[in-house]
Amino acid sequence: MTTLIETIRAARVWDSRGRPTVEAEVRLSGGATGRAIAPAGASRGSREAVDLRDGGERLGGMGVTRALKAVDEVIAPLLAGRDAADQAGCDAAMRAADGTATLSHLGGNAVVAVSLALSHAVAAARGMPLWAHLADVTGREALVPLPEIQIFGGGAHAGRRIDIQDLMVMVPGADSLDEALEVTAEIYRAGGAIMEAKGRLHGVADEGGWWPDFASNEEALETLCEAIHKAGEVPGGRVVLSLDIAASEFGKDGRYRLALDDHEMAGAEFATLLSRWCRDYHIAAIEDPLAEDDRTGTIAFTRAEGDRLQIIGDDYLVTDAALIKAAVRDGACNAALIKVNQNGTLSGALEAEQAAHAAGWGRIVSARSGESEDVSIVHIATGLGTGQLKVGSIARSERGAKWNECLRIARDGVAYAGGRALGNTWWGKA
């Protein structure tokens, strides 16, 4: 098996929002190739890796000519002849060449596409799927993940029509991935039917969930529970709710303003509201309940609710091992969202995931709002046995590609994580 890097090239492709992004192709001297496409986020933590965009008026400033140039003129010569199997070494070399904490010189989009393509190329050279390669090099048990699926979009993914960013469901009570997806599809269909009957069906948001048209944030929660009932399920039975609050989008300096409700409140009042929602609406997981700058509030909320809720850090942790270790020491959060492009490299994301794993935290591998047919995150979640995957809704092909890849891997005999991925935060009763 030869895994020396022969060539790396980049190309402009398009994401699910009709914006350009970077695809990297790595060819090894033995003939194996790997490709990967960089995703892009809309709701972003201030400390995450940043995309290199062209600016100006063309394509709304979102062009990637500069990022492609970074791959062709800097990254490709830098890595030529190196061993692609040394993922950490190659990623470190790119970080050193960039020289910034957020990869702003070469571009997080350029670096992450190459980083992921390296792993695909090595897996191809070994004659195995990426999930199997990752399970082998990390020593983890491969598991097909429990889906976390958006029914209603919001926040930055839906023109800020409601403040809550993602209203999702999980089906930890399902016996198989296929069953979990079928139940979720019925809930999704019911949610659309309810919106249509009320004259509020206006298409879908960035990640495929129904476009929100609600008078209040709480009406959105009520409607999701109504959809679960309409689908023949019971909230808090084998189906539970999950929220991404994305509080950094509307919270700052300990104050939170829900624009839809026309209400501003201090962090303690907001946390009390979230706690009530979690109890009233059978919510088992909540992401970024407080803003990324609200360390005190996040610690307090975790202390109050961490025994019964999965409290997930996204903007708060930005897939950074050092931040996760600090949060563990603080007692802030009990689960980490893992976004490879948020970190900028695969090896950095794996370090972050390992830090959460070592602490006994939940780990949820996540897509972004700007996605493509790339299924790398499915293989990462499966190979590391994280147990959970969040890719948006069950609609739109860039989302479906990932759920369908999960189904293929399950058909190959990989065990399904199911409800055990939630540990004791899922009570499993109506």
Give me the amino acid identity at 329: R
Contacts of 86 (CB under 8 A, 6+ apart): none
Structure tokens at 126: 């070994």
Q: Which of 207, 287, 305, 398 is catalytic?
A: 207
Structure tokens at 172: 């930890």
Active site residue 339: yes
Catalytic pick among 25, 292, 305, 339: 339
Quickly tell me which residue has 């190739």 as its tokens.
33
Provide the annotated active-site residues: 207, 339
